[in-house]
Amino acid sequence: MNADLPLYQQVADRIAQLIHDRVYEPGERLPSIRDVHADFSVSINTAREAFRVLEDRGVVEARSQSGHYVRTGPLVCDDDGMEFPVITGSAPLSRTADRLTRRVLTDSMRRGWINLATAEPPADLLPGRRLAELTARALRRDPHRAVAYELPPGPELLRAEIAKRVARGGVNAAVDDILVTAGCLEAVFVSLLTVCRAGDSVLIESPGFYLFHQLLDRLGLKAVEVPSRPGTGVDPDDVRTALDAGPIRAALLTANFSNPTGGTIPEDRKREIGRILAQHGVFLIEDDIYGEMAWDMPRPASLAAFADPARTVLCSSFSKSVSPGYRIGWVTGGADLVERAIHTKLVTSAAVSTPAAVGISEFLAGGGYDRWIRSARRHYRSTVPRLREAIAESFPAGTRSTRPAGGMVIWVVMPAGVDSVEAYERVRREGVAFAPGPVFSLHGAFANCLRINATDWSSEIDTAVRRIGAVASDLARESVATVIPGGIGSGTSG
């Protein structure tokens, strides 16, 4: 509980905590405004305001004449009342942000470093042995097939299995309307190249995934940023405003457990965004890679389920659940669009790698998938809170971090003035990498924010997180010192 916050937010945080701790279960009725007024010794207005905040965060829903209920959908990421500046609009990728991103990417690949910067699942969480076994068996059974092209759209058996997974997000994809790609990133890239021409504008989230910035920049596409919040992701009103402001060809959105904030757009807002895009004739390219990584079931619906199929492609992969290294993902959507995407895949890389395609096919057909998804969910559900604890105990006072409900990334907002890039420069000397806030912005915004990937927990990782926290705390003291002459660290007084 942060006493600096307005009273209604403190009350909202307390209720959110109770929901998080399962004192109130999903679907359960919450105490009335009157009860809260009495129990928390706050005014009726404050209680009402607290519920409004919880509704905004997507944690609670109001039912007319009946009061407030814990949302029955999956829990959305709780933003813990965090505030951070969101600068949006259309802009080229800034030199600073570009350079920083490349530096972080390079660091994240260094051997022996503790990599909290990229979202690769730990190898022992993935079905490596079973996948190797099934791939080996498939290769030996039909070695001639494995050396031959597996031309787009890819193996039919695999597409049939993908169709089943896509259906869980509420999207009915025909087996013929699925293109197998080399992971989700290639799926997004192929979709962009299919839908857009150089110079077109694409709506993206801010903060948003840095590789999308790099990709748009490489393809000569203009990015238009709309705010993405830790709780409920992108707001339909912001989408409408952006589309009204100028011609936009496509919206590239991560509606479920967005990266880095963990925000998930509630279903009614998904429906509204789908409507707005259709009205404006704007294509939707949905990155739904984290959709299946919801910690609670059922998983949230894909945004694509509410959009005009003729102008929608849904991209995802098995990289977070089965194997990033095999590189198997997909594009699905309207038949015409997928047909064009198949051609794009063909002319940019001919085909997916056959051994990976047959291996993943066997794995899915064998029925092992759901077990691994469940164990991944359990894993992240335990690693994320542990790292949040390390963050809470080591970062400067006033730091807030997201409490995601799916995926494995934590968005950390430090007090204004604490520079995440400077913290990065200091900890990288010790072989630790994380993602400083400015990589999630075209402009290099979010200077006081950072993303920690909770893909795993170990005492080493815990120590690394606390080290980042200690460095950030030093920076917080230094920033105070520069403001208050003679303060701690100025060297002129004790």
- Contacts with a second copy, residue ranges (CB under 8 A): 102, 105, 109, 120, 123-124, 126-129, 131-133, 135-137, 139-140, 143-151, 182-183, 185-186, 189, 193, 197-199, 211, 214-215, 218-220, 322-327, 343-344, 346-356, 359
Q: What's the CA gap between 35 and 40, in Å, rounded?
A: 8
CB of 42 or CB of 357, closer to a second copy: 357
When the beta carbons of 60 and 360 are compared against a second copy, the nearer one is 360
Q: Which is nearer to a second copy, 23 or 147 (CB)?
A: 147
Whose Cβ is closer to a second copy: residue 32's or residue 214's?
A: 214
Q: Based on CB atoms, which residue is closest to a second copy, 17 or 353?
A: 353
Whichever of 77 and 341 has its CB closer to a second copy, that residue is 341
CA dihedral for 207, 211, 216, 217, sign (positive or negative): positive
Among residues 343 and 381, whose Cβ is nearest to a second copy? 343
CB of 214 to a second copy, least distance (A): 4
CB of 203 to a second copy, least distance (A): 19
Q: Nearest distance from residue 256's CB to a second copy, in Å?
A: 20
CB-based contact 444:97 (threshold 8 Å): yes
Nearer residue to a second copy within complex by CB, 147 or 488: 147
Of 245 and 350, nearer to a second copy (C-beta) is 350
Least Å from the CB of residue 260 to a second copy: 17
419/267 Cα distance (integer angstroms): 36
d(CA 249, CA 280): 9
Closest approach of a second copy to the CB of residue 218, in Å: 6
Beta carbon nearer to a second copy, 50 or 188: 188
Output the smallest distance, CB 331 to a second copy, in A. 13
- 178-181 and 201-206 beta bridge pairing: unpaired
